[in-house]
Structure 1
Amino acid sequence: MGTRYVIKVDLADVWAAPDRKELLRTLAWGDEIVVNNITPTALEIEVVVYVQQQGGSVITQKTTGFIVPRKSQKLRPSDLVAEPASNDVLRVNFVDVQQGDGAVIESPDGKVILVDGGDNQLFARYLAGRFNGTTAAKPKDIDCILVTHGDADHFAGLVEIFDSETLGDVKKQLFIRPHRVFHNGIVKRPSTRNDKRVPDRELLGATKQVAGSTYITGLEENLLEVDDAQMNQPFRRWKAALAHYDQRQKIAFRRLQLGDNEAFDFFNDGAMRIEVLGPIPAEVDGKPALKFLGEPPEGPRIGHESLEDTALRSSGLSASHTINGHSVVFKLGYGGFSYLFCGDLNDESSRFLARENNKGTINLRSEVFKVPHHGSADFSGAFLQAVSPIASVVSSGDENVRKEYIHPRATLVGALGKYSRVPEPLVFVTELVAFFTYEGSVVPTSPARAKERGTFQGFSRAAFGMVKTRTNGSRLLIYTDSANAKLKEAYAYELDASGQPLPAPVKRV
């Protein structure tokens, strides 16, 4: 039986033998490992490797591996690991879910927050591998599931986690026990009634007009108490999954808005803190309400940042822009580094936050920026300038024509570079850090599809588009995997004496 440790260097290569001849995989700072033996030259560890099966599926296997520092590094093997009790590394991974969002936050003491989950099985598959070995009797405790807003590409994939419990392949199963579910309070209604399209004003619950503006007053708290008839299909499926989870352990539901920081008391520990910055509510009849937003102007809006510019004013009532614009916005801080999560925030709502930032009500400035709305052109330069990130992550992917939005837009990528506080900002796109292998000519297995489509050129995914980050509050590591096991795109930052992040060498052994 080995001893549990955590990796103490940025990247640690794991070899099949102590001679460093066959690279199995690379582990990262803060990863937990089981060490079977520590010799003067190497760590002998248990390691999980990924083996591709016929047909393209990937399974995990446990084997023995060795972490062997080079002699020139003048490091002892014992210098590469730390006791789990002394682990101080926060891990935040942005998962490639194609056109959608999905991220996992893991605190040094093991607390887990899921932020969104895409609309397909990719997030569930990743989590099943990350938290393998769960059963109905021993589910994985998830401290919080935070759904930034009720668009299916942000939460329908969470239902796939529940559905995985009945899969025949145990390696794809994931049993969880969520303790909390946080959201923005807006539940989407069915889009048709009596075979007719429902007006946008009636799609998000009860509303009221005040001084010429429309406000959503029917904000929900406990999703299990919302009638099925008042939910569209993705919400009904999500409610059904939550009802099953609620039987395992009573779920604490909460609608979040600006200032609800105490909701994260379970996570915050002084050095690590989560602040809720949005949505920003209004008050109608003494109760919180969210303003109905409109359609943005069409076309590129370059060089029009004035709040008074009529070309930037939205028009009408748009349910989609309203639910996006009132995404839960939160800032995760740890020591001198911060992450800003924004859901599908848009131009109009971003301006609300930028104004609050300028007034000093909130502080948007963050080092790592989860870019809103998959890199849409519907953004505010003033907002990006307030964030002034050093690293930005865009979660996007074009899996079919129906989901093609040309994300990220060229104007957005350019603005991220322009408004960064460093001369060489990092911009990651989950779709672009995935890798594919050319498989040659392929014929569909379905005779009908083969007749329709014919032979085409096929590719298989060789590496998923994960963007992984690690920080202990004074150092930050950001890296991605390549299909070539020897390659990583990795960057590190350390705080200088004044608390400013500066590039630092990546420590790889």
Structure 2
Amino acid sequence: MPTSNLADLVDPNFPLYCYTLEKLTPVYDQANGKKTVAKLFMGEWVKLRLKKNEAPPSEGRAPVLYRGGQGYVDVSALSRRRTLEIFFIDVGVGDSILIQTPDDRRVLIDGGQTSDAYDFIRNKYRLDKPDHYVDFEAVIATHCDMDHAKGLIDILTDKRIAVKRVFHNGLFKRNDDGIGRVQNGRAFELLDAPGAKTRPPLAPLMKKFVEAVGAAKRNLPAVAKKMKKIERWRGRFEMPEEGFTFRRLDAAEKFLPPFDDTNRHLIIEVLWPRATLSGGEPSYKYYRDVGKTVNGNSIVLRVVHGRNRILLTGDLNAASMGDLVAICPGGVEAEVYKAAHHGSQDFTADFVRAVKANAAVISSGDDKNDQHGHPRAVLLGSITRHSRCEKPAVFCTELAACFQKLSAKERKSFQSNQLYERTIRGVVHLRSDRERLYLGTVHGIREAADPLANVNWKWDVWPDD
């Protein structure tokens, strides 16, 4: 657990930055007053307002800037050390998960099918400002469905974003609606780096995705060169020894590079899919049809941070859940479980029992006529049934989002029959300091100019300790 010692400078590139220690840290309007102007979730950054060469205070309150305003924070509630931050981004129908590690590295898992994930990243890292860049150790498409992969295209092609590795499950939809050769209940032709010569040719979305990966590869050396010239990135940006990577990820590797069991900050385990050799060729189990096979072989990751484990399951389904459990001798238990397939009813009670989640996160949204109906009632009633705590919780991006009815005048400005606008994004926030873990969503009044500003937010935080 991080401790408060502002003289302990961890990152010399950011000598004025600190991070909040408490579940919800109050920001006061005066150095000695009682009125609060904001409450910051654990791990949020603040910037000390100090004069040149002024030492940070060792007691009392520190004057700070935070995203959305300024005020005073108790020194005892601040640390120089980061927490693990995970953002389950509200992308409507689909998944997108941003991981920011305690040593300031980033992983993106899926991108939804709209620009929502891209917009979130641009806003969070202020990529609209000159000389602002961001890098990702890995971008992962858990599988090739539109609501997971399409939103990655804008991210991969942005020249302010340095992507070092792109991983996928090896199954790419083709223009004949297949995924390659299927034989004896196995799916073959698992691809590492598909391209123009792939036969049958890739489906249009897959072709665009592969082209975007090519753009990311070409962009990496140029953006890396620019970032290394900027003071805030000095000593922080590292190119992989193997260079840019684009390939299939398999559970046989055990860990997501570079987050293996030697990493002292964070471990990310690869639990699924696992290919087997048939006649010397790798293949996956074929789950009845193309859709179930693509979903059932989604990349499944488990983030391990101290005693806290977060299980991320893509669009895993009932057919493949038993197979996953069977190849995991250490089990699939997790404190937090990102529900498979947006809260679909396509799950097994045995899998829920094996995970034993104390809290669950569901990424879902409405499409036209809500054709999928996610999250399903049976999933909501079952997902934390076998938790190990007295008061488990379920968070849902769709339920956390807030909408406001448009006035007649506002409706006239739209070209469609849209009646509502989303006023609060349904992002589910996770923080871990290796011992404590909190999940939270916001409600209340937002600062319209900056949807990430910490102004007038009210927090719903679990656990309520």
What is the CA-CA distance between 1:136 and the residue it aligns to? 9.1
Q: Secondary structure at the match of 1:148?
A: coil
Partner residue in 2 for 1:71: none
Residue 153 of structure 1: which of 135, 143, 147 is its match?
A: 147
Take 1:271 and 1:22, find their aligned partners in 2: how far apart are those partners? Answer: 33
Larger Rg: 1
What is the CA-CA distance between 1:253 and the residue it aligns to? 1.7
Relative to structure 1, the CA distance from residue 486 to residue 263 in structure 2 (aligned partners, 3 Å threshold; closer, same or farther) is closer
Structure with the higher fraction of residues in strand conformation:
1
Take 1:93 and 1:443, find their aligned partners in 2: how far apart are those partners? Answer: 31
Partner residue in 2 for 1:469: 430
Take 1:225 and 1:277, find their aligned partners in 2: how far apart are those partners? Answer: 31
Alignment of 1:331 with 2:319, yes or no, is no
Report matched runs for 1:445-460 at 5 Å. Answer: 445=412, 458-460=419-421
Structure 2 gap segments, 5+ residues each: 1-13, 51-55, 221-242, 446-455
What is the CA-CA distance between 1:424 and the residue it aligns to? 2.1
Take 1:462 and 1:399, find their aligned partners in 2: how far apart are those partners? Answer: 18
- Whether the 8 Å contact between 2:107 and 2:139 is mirrored in structure 1 is yes
RMSD (CA atoms): 2.6
Q: Secondary structure at the match of 2:18?
A: strand
- Whether the 8 Å contact between 1:478 and 1:491 is mirrored in structure 2 is yes
Partner residue in 2 for 1:376: 344
Alignment of 1:190 with 2:139, yes or no, is no
Take 2:40 and 2:196, find their aligned partners in 1: how far apart are those partners? Answer: 44
Take 1:79 and 1:378, find their aligned partners in 2: how far apart are those partners? Answer: 47
TM-score, normalisation: structure 2: 0.81
What is the CA-CA distance between 1:15 and the residue it aligns to? 5.1
Q: Secondary structure at the match of 2:174?
A: coil
Take 1:283 and 1:383, find their aligned partners in 2: how far apart are those partners? Answer: 26
Partner residue in 2 for 1:346: 317
- Whether the 8 Å contact between 2:256 and 2:269 is mirrored in structure 1 is no
TM-score, normalisation: structure 1: 0.75
- Whether the 8 Å contact between 1:106 and 1:112 is mirrored in structure 2 is yes
What is the CA-CA distance between 1:408 and the residue it aligns to? 0.7
Alignment of 1:30 with 2:30, yes or no, is no
Take 2:405 and 2:61, find their aligned partners in 1: how far apart are those partners? Answer: 37
- Whether the 8 Å contact between 1:134 and 1:140 is mirrored in structure 2 is no
Residue 420 of structure 1: which of 387, 396, 402 is its match?
A: 387
- Number of matched pairs: 412
- Whether the 8 Å contact between 2:102 and 2:265 is mirrored in structure 1 is no
Partner residue in 2 for 1:429: 396
Take 1:397 and 1:368, find their aligned partners in 2: how far apart are those partners? Answer: 20
2:402 corresponds to which letter in structure 1? Answer: F
Q: Secondary structure at the match of 2:112?
A: coil
What is the CA-CA distance between 1:356 and the residue it aligns to? 3.4
Report matched runs for 1:106-505 at 5 Å. Answer: 106-133=100-127, 139-162=133-156, 165=158, 175-191=160-176, 198=177, 203-207=178-182, 209=183, 213-223=184-194, 227=198, 230-249=201-220, 250-266=243-259, 268=261, 269-270=263-264, 272-294=266-288, 318-357=289-328, 361-401=329-369, 404-441=371-408, 444-445=411-412, 458-484=419-445, 485-492=456-463, 505=465
Deviations 1:194-227 (A, max 9, x none): xxxx5xxxx10233x2xxx332220011245764
Relative to structure 1, the CA distance from residue 121 to residue 271 in structure 2 (aligned partners, 3 Å threshold; closer, same or farther) is closer
Take 1:136 and 1:67, find their aligned partners in 2: how far apart are those partners? Answer: 29
2:135 corresponds to which letter in structure 1? Answer: D
Deviations 1:410-434 (A, max 9, x none): 1111111323233321111110011
Take 1:21 and 1:378, find their aligned partners in 2: how far apart are those partners? Answer: 49
Q: Secondary structure at the match of 1:427?
A: strand
Which has the larger displacement, 337-346 or 128-137? 128-137
Relative to structure 1, the CA distance from residue 190 to residue 4 in structure 2 (aligned partners, 3 Å threshold; closer, same or farther) is same
What is the CA-CA distance between 1:260 and the residue it aligns to? 1.2
- Whether the 8 Å contact between 1:98 and 1:431 is mirrored in structure 2 is yes
Take 1:439 and 1:101, find their aligned partners in 2: how far apart are those partners? Answer: 27
Take 2:36 and 2:90, find their aligned partners in 1: how far apart are those partners? Answer: 28
Q: Secondary structure at the match of 1:348?
A: helix
Partner residue in 2 for 1:100: 94
- Whether the 8 Å contact between 1:12 and 1:67 is mirrored in structure 2 is no
What is the CA-CA distance between 1:364 and the residue it aligns to? 0.3
Partner residue in 1 for 2:229: none
Take 2:392 and 2:151, find their aligned partners in 1: how far apart are those partners? Answer: 31
Partner residue in 2 for 1:66: 71
Q: Secondary structure at the match of 1:417?
A: coil
Q: Secondary structure at the match of 1:432?
A: helix
What is the CA-CA distance between 1:471 and the residue it aligns to? 0.8
